[in-house]
Amino acid sequence: MIEKRAENIMIPEEANYQRTMKRDVEPYLRSYEKDGYIESYDKTAIYYRTYRIPQAKAGIVISHGFCEFAEKYREVIYYFLQNGYSVYVPEHRGHGYSDRIVVDGEKVHIEDYEQYVQDLYFFVKNVVEPTEKRKILFCHSMGGAIGVRYLEEFPLTFDAAILSAPMLGMNTGKYPKWLAKVTADFFCAIGKGTKYAAGQSGFSDKPSFETSSCVSRERYMYIYNMRLRNINYQTYGGTYAWVKAGFKVIRKLRKRKNINSIKIPLIIFEAEKDDMVDNCGIEKFAKKAKTAQLVRMKDSKHEIFNAGEAVRDSYYRQIFLFLNHVYTAQERMNEENEYETKTDETRKILGTV
C-alpha cells in the first residue's frame, strides 16, 4: 500500500517500503527512463538518465552527492514525476557509470571542482536545454557545492534551485579544519593526492545503518543493496586531492561577489543532526544570498529524503510549495509579457491606420 501524506506526494510506508518500490515505483520509472553518455569538455564520458513526461511544468536537474549515483534517487525522481516535472540526472565524473579518474573505483578523486561544474554545464547545454524551457536545479551535499558554483558562473540557466544539506562548509570530523587542509595540501604537494584522505576508506560489504546519514532503515537497506550488487556504485572514500579541492571550492563559492551573482529563488534545507557537512557554512551562505530561504529540518540526519516519516512529509511538502510558487510566478510573468506584446502590436496597427 502507498500512503498519501501530502498533495500529489505518495510516500511508501516504512514497513512495506522495499516491496512498494519494486512493485510500483521501479516499473513506473522504467516507463519513462532513458539513459546515455555525453562527452564533457575534456572527452570524459558522463553517464546520465532522463525521465521526460508529457507537458511537464519544468525539467529538474539533480546534482547528486559524494559517492552517489542516479538510481539512489529513485524515490525522489518518482515524486517529481508524480507532481508534473521531468527529471535529468547526470552522474558526476568518478561516480556511477561515468568515467573514473583513478583506477580504484572506490575512491572519489578530483583535482578541481570546476571539472564537475563544466561537466554539468555540458550536460545541461546538450541534454536538458534542447527540450526544457523551464529548468530547476536540485542539489544534495557535494552536489550542492557543484550546483552553487554552477549558479554563480552561469546565473541565467536555471529558474530556481533546491539545495538539500549542501556542502557549503567542510565537516572534517575529529580533525580540525586547519589540520585537514594542511595535511591534504602536503600529500598533494608530494604527489600523493590520490591516496585516501585520513579517515577515508574503501567500500564495506557490511551495512552500517547506525552510523549512516539515514534515519529510515528500510531506505538505507534498499540503497545499500543496490550498491552491494553493483560495483559501479561502490565509490566510498575521498582522496587528499578531493579534500583539497573541497576547501578550494568552498572558499570560492562563499565570496560575496560570487553569491551576489545568483538572482534566482533558492530554498536551502539544513539537517539538524548533520555530521557530513558543516551547517555553519550553510548558514553563512544563506545570510549572504539575498534570494535564499533557509529551512531547518529538526531530527534529520544528512540525507533528509531518507529521514523519518514526519520530516520527509514536511520536506517534500515545502519543496512542492516552493516549486508551485516559482511556477505560478513564471506563468504570471509570461502572461504579462504576452499581454504587453499584444498591446505593442495593437498600438503599431492603430498607428498605421
Banded model confidence at residue 2, pLDDT cuts 50, 70, 90: very low
Q: What is the average per-residue pLDDT within 79-97?
A: 98
* Segment 3-33, tens digit of pLDDT: 444 455 667 778 899 999 999 999 999 999 9
What is the chain's mean pLDDT, rounded?
93
Beta-carbon contacts of residue 225 (< 8 Å; ≥ 6 apart) = none
Beta-carbon contacts of residue 344 (< 8 Å; ≥ 6 apart) = none
pTM of the model: 0.92
What pLDDT score does 3 carry?
44
CB atoms within 10 A of CB 112: 13
Q: How much of the chain exceeds pLDDT 70, in percent?
A: 91
Rounded Cα distance between 295 and 209, Å, is 25
Which CATH number applies to 2-352: 3.90.1150.10, 2.130.10.10, 3.40.50.1820, 3.40.1410.10? Answer: 3.40.50.1820
* Segment 258-279, tens digit of pLDDT: 999 999 999 999 999 999 999 9
> What SS3 class is residue 296?
strand
Which range, of 11-25, 68-82, 137-151, 270-284, averages the lowest pLDDT? 11-25
Q: Which three cell numbers stand for residue 276?
A: 557530513
Q: How much of the chain exceeds pLDDT 90, in percent?
A: 87
Domain map (residue ranges) of the chain:
2-352
Q: What is the average per-residue pLDDT within 184-198?
A: 98
